Amino acid sequence: MIDLHTHCIFSDGELIPAELVRRAKVAGYRAIALTDHGDASNIDFIIPRIARVTGALGAAHGMAIICGIELTHVPPRDIAPLALEARSLGARIVVVHGETIVEPVMPGTNRAALEAGVDILAHPGLISGEDVALAASRGIFLEVTTRRGHCLANGHVVKIARHYGAPLIMNTDTHGPQDLVKKETAILIARGAGMDDGEVAAMFKNSELLAKKAGNIP
C-alpha cells in the first residue's frame, strides 16, 4: 500500500510522525506521505518539522516517508502562491483539500488547485466535467478516498474521471490508527466505487509513480 495523504499531530491527526509511520509499516505500507492541514498561518511550522524526520524514519523502517502538505480551506485566489511557498519550504507533495460534499469548502477551490498545478486534488466531491478535463490535461491526480464522509462521492469521481481520462489515486486521509487500511480493503473500496480490475491496477500504479517522483521507494 502507498498512501500519499495522511495527518499527524501537526494538524488534526492523533499520532506523532514516528508512531504513524510505525503503524503504517506494520499495516504493510511501502510508502507514506505526511500531509498535514496547512494554510498561510502554519505551513512554515509544519513542513520543516516533517522534512526533518522523513529521512531517519524511512531508513529505520525501510520505506519511503515523504514530506507533504494539504492546503485546506484556503481561499481559491491564495492556493497558487501558497503551493509555491510550500514547495520552497520542502514539501515534495502538495495536496489541496477539494470540494468534498461533507464540508463547506469554498466554491472554486477545485479549479484553483488544478490551475495551480498541485499534485493531488483530494476528495473533490461532485467535481465538474470541465475541471476533470483540466486535471486530465495537466496530469493532476484526483483522489479516490477511503475516508468516511469524503468517500460518498467516490462513485462520481471514478465515473467522470473515466469519461475524461483523468488519473486517479487512492489515499486514506488518515487521522488516526483506525483509518489506515490494508491494500485488500482499498481494493474493495475501489470496486465499490465502480472500478474494474484494470482501473484499480492503474490507480495503484499512479501512486507508485508519484511516490517515486517525490521520494525513493525501497
The string of pLDDT tens digits covering residues 99-123 is 999 999 999 999 999 999 999 999 9
The mean pLDDT value of the chain amounts to 97
Model confidence at 17: pLDDT above 70: yes
Q: Comparing C-alpha atoms, which of 1, 11, 7, 18 is closest to residue 54? A: 18
Q: Domains in the chain and their CATH numbers?
A: 2-214 (3.20.20.140)
pLDDT score recorded for residue 145: 98
Percentage, residues of the chain above pLDDT 70: 100
pLDDT score recorded for residue 215: 82
Average pLDDT over residues 160-169: 98
Average pLDDT over residues 134-138: 98
What residues pair up with 3 in beta bridges, in sequence order?
Answer: 32
- Using CB atoms within 10 Å of the CB of residue 152, give its burial: 0 to 12 exposed, 13 to 18 middle, 19+ buried: middle
pTM recorded for the entire structure: 0.98
pLDDT score recorded for residue 218: 67
Average pLDDT over residues 173-193: 97
Largest CA distance in the chain: 44
Give the span between the Cα atoms of 171 and 123, in whole angstroms. 9
Length of the chain, in residues = 218
Average pLDDT over residues 191-205: 98
- Using CB atoms within 10 Å of the CB of residue 41, give its burial: 0 to 12 exposed, 13 to 18 middle, 19+ buried: exposed
Model confidence at 214: pLDDT above 90: yes
Average pLDDT over residues 165-173: 98
The model's confidence at residue 209, banded by pLDDT at 50, 70 and 90, is very high
Provide the 3-class DSSP secondary structure of residue 64: strand
Average pLDDT over residues 31-42: 98
pLDDT score recorded for residue 216: 72
Q: What is the pLDDT of residues 38-48, one digit of tens each?
A: 999 999 999 99
Model confidence at 93: pLDDT above 80: yes
What are the CB-based long-range contacts (under 8 Å, 24+) for 148-154? 149/100, 149/102, 150/100, 150/102, 150/122, 150/123, 151/123, 151/189, 151/193, 152/101, 152/102, 153/100, 153/101, 153/123, 153/124, 153/125, 153/126, 154/189, 154/192, 154/193
